[in-house]
């Protein structure tokens, strides 16, 4: 169980690094586009690349965001529940979150396969294939679902053995005691 959680956490951190690089690249491409247009040249690929990178960064960063408690949580009603009922409420919320992520991963996989098989491209002048952008959805949402599995295992563990990865508990939003200090350590 712990080795599974460690593997998912490492993969989430690796995707967070990839997402960070994609986001930085998106900003650099947009800056390049602005400077190029400022001096009178036109642009045709820059905006699309920036959008692809930003969308990819959003989906690929999702598992790490859940792992570190940085997501928008529904803690209000579970915070009002007493002891064991609170834990059950947190597990229920994690199951709902996991189901949503699995659904999005399934839809994203279908979009990716369909776009790849048909050779679907954008309608822009540059016309890049759409499947690479679509592929970030099943990857990111699939790993976020696995991160929810880790959270559910931590919540279901006997009291004192583990703390939830994302929802509620002491230290919410601070890595829940499972992370080392630092952003991506």
Tens of pLDDT along 113-141? 999 999 999 988 889 999 999 999 999 99
Instruction: Give the pLDDT of residue 185.
Output: 34
Instruction: Give the pLDDT of residue 32.
Output: 96
Percent residues over pLDDT 70 in the chain: 84
Instruction: Give the pLDDT of residue 55.
Output: 96
Instruction: Give the pLDDT of residue 166.
Output: 52
- Looking at per-residue confidence, does 164 or 174 come out higher? 164
Instruction: Give the pLDDT of residue 44.
Output: 84
pLDDT band for 1, please (50, 70, 90 cuts): confident
pLDDT band for 164, please (50, 70, 90 cuts): low
- CB-side neighbour CA atoms (13 Å) of 61: 18
d(CA 132, CA 23) in angstroms, rounded, equals 16
In this predicted structure, the answer to whether residue 179 has a pLDDT above a threshold of 50 is: no
HEC assignment per residue over the chain: CHHHHHHHHHHHHHHHHHHHHHHHHHHHHHHHHHHHHHCCCCCCCHHHHHHHHHHHHHHHHHHHHHHCCCCCCCCHHHHCCCHHHHHHHHHHHHHHHHHHHHHHHHHHHHHHHHHHHHCCECCCCCCCECHHHHHHHHHHHHHHHHHHHHHHHHHHCCCCCCCCCCCCCCCCCCCCCCCCCCCCC
Q: Which residue has the tokens 């230290």?
A: 171
pLDDT tens profile 54-97: 999 999 999 999 999 887 776 777 778 887 888 898 899 999 99
Average pLDDT, the chain: 85
């Amino acid at each position: 169980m712990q080795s599974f959680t460690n593997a998912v956490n490492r993969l989430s951190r690796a995707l967070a690094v990839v997402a960070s690089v994609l986001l930085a690249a998106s900003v650099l491409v947009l800056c390049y586009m602005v400077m190029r247009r400022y001096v009178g040249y036109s642009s045709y690929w820059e905006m699309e690349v920036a959008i692809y990178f930003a969308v990819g960064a959003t989906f690929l960063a999702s598992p790490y965001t859940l792992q570190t408690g940085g997501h928008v949580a529904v803690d209000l009603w579970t915070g009002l529940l007493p002891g064991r009922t609170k834990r059950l409420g947190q597990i229920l919320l994690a199951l709902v979150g996991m189901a949503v992520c699995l659904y999005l991963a399934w839809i994203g996989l279908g979009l990716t396969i369909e776009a790849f098989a048909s050779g679907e491209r954008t309608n822009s002048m540059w016309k890049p294939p759409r499947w690479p952008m679509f592929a970030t959805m099943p990857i990111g949402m699939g790993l976020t679902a696995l991160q929810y599995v880790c959270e559910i295992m931590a919540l279901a563990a006997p009291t004192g053995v583990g703390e939830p990865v994302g929802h509620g508990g002491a230290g919410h939003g601070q890595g829940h005691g499972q992370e080392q200090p630092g952003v991506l350590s």
